Protein backbone atom coordinates (compact mmCIF):
# COMPACT_ATOMS: atom_id res chain seq x y z
CA UNK A 1 0.00 0.00 0.00
CA UNK A 2 1.54 3.33 -1.06
CA UNK A 3 1.09 6.47 0.98
CA UNK A 4 1.45 9.88 -0.61
CA UNK A 5 2.40 12.71 1.65
CA UNK A 6 0.85 16.03 0.74
CA UNK A 7 3.70 18.47 0.99
CA UNK A 8 3.32 22.23 1.09
CA UNK A 9 5.03 22.44 -2.31
CA UNK A 10 2.60 19.95 -3.94
CA UNK A 11 -0.35 21.78 -2.39
CA UNK A 12 0.84 25.14 -3.77
CA UNK A 13 1.51 23.68 -7.24
CA UNK A 14 -1.91 22.03 -7.30
CA UNK A 15 -3.62 25.24 -6.21
CA UNK A 16 -1.76 27.23 -8.87
CA UNK A 17 -2.80 24.74 -11.55
CA UNK A 18 -6.47 24.95 -10.51
CA UNK A 19 -6.35 28.75 -10.48
CA UNK A 20 -4.76 28.82 -13.94
CA UNK A 21 -7.33 26.46 -15.43
CA UNK A 22 -10.31 28.26 -13.92
CA UNK A 23 -9.00 31.67 -15.05
CA UNK A 24 -8.45 30.54 -18.65
CA UNK A 25 -11.17 31.44 -21.10
CA UNK A 26 -13.28 28.53 -22.30
CA UNK A 27 -12.41 27.18 -25.70
CA UNK A 28 -14.63 28.85 -28.29
CA UNK A 29 -17.56 26.90 -29.67
CA UNK A 30 -17.41 26.11 -33.37
CA UNK A 31 -18.53 29.47 -34.73
CA UNK A 32 -18.21 28.59 -38.41
CA UNK A 33 -21.46 29.32 -40.24
CA UNK A 34 -23.37 26.13 -41.07
CA UNK A 35 -25.12 25.78 -44.42
CA UNK A 36 -27.22 22.85 -45.62
CA UNK A 37 -27.44 22.40 -49.39
CA UNK A 38 -29.96 20.50 -51.51
CA UNK A 39 -28.51 19.59 -54.88
CA UNK A 40 -28.74 17.24 -57.79
CA UNK A 41 -26.43 14.27 -57.04
CA UNK A 42 -24.87 14.49 -60.51
CA UNK A 43 -24.05 18.20 -60.44
CA UNK A 44 -20.34 18.95 -60.35
CA UNK A 45 -20.72 22.72 -60.16
CA UNK A 46 -22.80 22.38 -56.97
CA UNK A 47 -19.99 20.37 -55.41
CA UNK A 48 -17.44 22.97 -56.58
CA UNK A 49 -19.52 25.78 -54.95
CA UNK A 50 -19.72 23.81 -51.69
CA UNK A 51 -15.92 23.34 -51.78
CA UNK A 52 -15.50 27.12 -52.10
CA UNK A 53 -17.69 27.57 -49.01
CA UNK A 54 -15.72 24.96 -47.05
CA UNK A 55 -12.43 26.59 -48.03
CA UNK A 56 -13.82 29.88 -46.69
CA UNK A 57 -14.65 28.33 -43.31
CA UNK A 58 -18.30 27.30 -43.68
CA UNK A 59 -19.54 23.99 -42.29
CA UNK A 60 -21.33 22.47 -45.28
CA UNK A 61 -23.77 19.57 -45.27
CA UNK A 62 -25.74 18.41 -48.28
CA UNK A 63 -28.41 16.05 -49.45
CA UNK A 64 -29.45 14.94 -52.88
CA UNK A 65 -32.72 16.01 -54.42
CA UNK A 66 -33.82 15.88 -58.03
CA UNK A 67 -36.42 17.17 -60.44
CA UNK A 68 -39.78 18.26 -59.14
CA UNK A 69 -38.86 17.55 -55.51
CA UNK A 70 -36.00 20.07 -55.70
CA UNK A 71 -38.16 22.65 -57.50
CA UNK A 72 -40.95 22.15 -54.94
CA UNK A 73 -38.46 22.72 -52.10
CA UNK A 74 -37.37 26.00 -53.69
CA UNK A 75 -40.94 27.23 -54.20
CA UNK A 76 -42.04 26.22 -50.68
CA UNK A 77 -39.12 28.23 -49.27
CA UNK A 78 -39.84 31.44 -51.18
CA UNK A 79 -37.55 31.16 -54.19
CA UNK A 80 -39.44 32.53 -57.23
CA UNK A 81 -39.22 30.46 -60.40
CA UNK A 82 -37.30 33.18 -62.26
CA UNK A 83 -34.61 33.17 -59.53
CA UNK A 84 -33.95 29.42 -59.56
CA UNK A 85 -30.56 27.84 -60.14
CA UNK A 86 -29.13 24.36 -59.70
CA UNK A 87 -28.78 24.13 -55.89
CA UNK A 88 -30.37 25.66 -52.79
CA UNK A 89 -28.82 26.25 -49.40
CA UNK A 90 -30.22 27.27 -46.04
CA UNK A 91 -28.12 29.23 -43.57
CA UNK A 92 -29.31 30.85 -40.37
CA UNK A 93 -32.91 31.13 -41.64
CA UNK A 94 -31.98 32.43 -45.10
CA UNK A 95 -32.17 30.66 -48.45
CA UNK A 96 -29.15 30.80 -50.77
CA UNK A 97 -30.05 29.97 -54.35
CA UNK A 98 -27.33 29.18 -56.86
CA UNK A 99 -23.73 30.31 -57.08
CA UNK A 100 -23.80 33.12 -54.52
CA UNK A 101 -20.31 34.37 -53.57
CA UNK A 102 -19.10 33.96 -49.97
CA UNK A 103 -18.75 37.74 -49.48
CA UNK A 104 -22.46 38.19 -50.22
CA UNK A 105 -23.49 35.42 -47.83
CA UNK A 106 -21.37 36.99 -45.09
CA UNK A 107 -22.88 40.42 -45.79
CA UNK A 108 -26.40 38.95 -45.66
CA UNK A 109 -25.68 37.38 -42.27
CA UNK A 110 -24.18 40.62 -40.98
CA UNK A 111 -26.94 42.96 -42.22
CA UNK A 112 -29.83 40.54 -41.49
CA UNK A 113 -32.42 42.05 -43.87
CA UNK A 114 -36.06 40.95 -43.67
CA UNK A 115 -35.83 38.70 -46.72
CA UNK A 116 -36.02 35.14 -48.00
CA UNK A 117 -32.35 35.23 -48.95
CA UNK A 118 -30.04 35.61 -51.93
CA UNK A 119 -30.14 34.23 -55.46
CA UNK A 120 -27.92 34.03 -58.50
CA UNK A 121 -30.30 32.79 -61.20
CA UNK A 122 -28.94 30.33 -63.73
CA UNK A 123 -25.29 29.43 -63.77
CA UNK A 124 -23.18 32.47 -64.76
CA UNK A 125 -19.67 31.62 -65.90
CA UNK A 126 -17.03 32.76 -63.43
CA UNK A 127 -19.32 32.73 -60.40
CA UNK A 128 -18.09 30.51 -57.52
CA UNK A 129 -18.03 26.92 -58.76
CA UNK A 130 -18.59 27.93 -62.38
CA UNK A 131 -15.13 28.47 -63.80
CA UNK A 132 -12.33 30.95 -63.18
CA UNK A 133 -13.27 34.34 -61.78
CA UNK A 134 -10.67 35.86 -64.11
CA UNK A 135 -13.00 34.95 -67.01
CA UNK A 136 -16.23 35.92 -65.24
CA UNK A 137 -19.24 37.12 -67.16
CA UNK A 138 -21.40 39.92 -65.75
CA UNK A 139 -23.98 38.75 -63.20
CA UNK A 140 -26.07 39.99 -60.30
CA UNK A 141 -26.80 38.62 -56.86
CA UNK A 142 -30.42 39.34 -55.93
CA UNK A 143 -31.99 39.88 -52.53
CA UNK A 144 -35.25 37.92 -52.63
CA UNK A 145 -38.04 39.40 -50.52
CA UNK A 146 -40.96 37.62 -48.88
CA UNK A 147 -43.48 39.03 -51.39
CA UNK A 148 -41.56 37.38 -54.26
CA UNK A 149 -39.97 40.60 -55.47
CA UNK A 150 -36.22 41.08 -55.64
CA UNK A 151 -33.60 43.77 -55.91
CA UNK A 152 -29.94 43.73 -56.84
CA UNK A 153 -27.83 43.01 -53.76
CA UNK A 154 -24.45 42.97 -55.54
CA UNK A 155 -23.43 43.49 -59.17
CA UNK A 156 -20.38 41.73 -60.61
CA UNK A 157 -18.88 43.12 -63.81
CA UNK A 158 -17.23 40.89 -66.36
CA UNK A 159 -13.57 40.23 -65.62
Average pLDDT for residues 31-46, to the nearest whole number? 91
pLDDT at 23: 41
β-pair type (87-91, 59-64): unpaired
Asked if residue 16 is part of any domain, the answer here is no
Give the pLDDT band (50/70/90) at residue 42.
Answer: confident
Q: What residues make up the domain containing 90?
A: 34-156
The CA distance from 60 to 82, in Å, is 26
In this structure, the chain runs to a length of 159
**pTM attached to this predicted model:** 0.80
Please answer whether residues 49 and 128 qualify as being in contact, where contact means their C-beta atoms are separated by less than 8 angstroms: yes
Asked if residue 105 is part of any domain, the answer here is yes
Please answer whether residues 58 and 34 qualify as being in contact, where contact means their C-beta atoms are separated by less than 8 angstroms: yes
The CA distance from 62 to 47, in Å, is 9
Query: Positive or negative CA dihedral for 69, 117, 61, 49?
Result: positive
Asked if residue 121 is part of any domain, the answer here is yes
pLDDT at 11: 41
Asked if residue 102 is part of any domain, the answer here is yes
More confident residue, 19 or 49: 49
Query: How does DSSP classify residue 25?
Result: P
Asked if residue 11 is part of any domain, the answer here is no
Task: Count how many domains the chain has.
Answer: 1
pLDDT in tens, 115-149: 999 999 999 999 999 999 999 999 999 999 999 99
Work out the number of other CB atoms within 10 angstroms of the CB of residue 146: 9
Asked if residue 6 is part of any domain, the answer here is no
Asked if residue 23 is part of any domain, the answer here is no
pLDDT at 31: 80
pLDDT in tens, 79-123: 999 999 999 999 999 999 999 999 999 999 999 999 999 999 999
Amino acid sequence: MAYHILSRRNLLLGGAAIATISASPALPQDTAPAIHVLKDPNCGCCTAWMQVLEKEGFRVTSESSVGTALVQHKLENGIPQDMMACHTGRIDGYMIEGHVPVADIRRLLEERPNAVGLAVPGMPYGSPGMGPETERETYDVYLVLHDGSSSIFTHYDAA
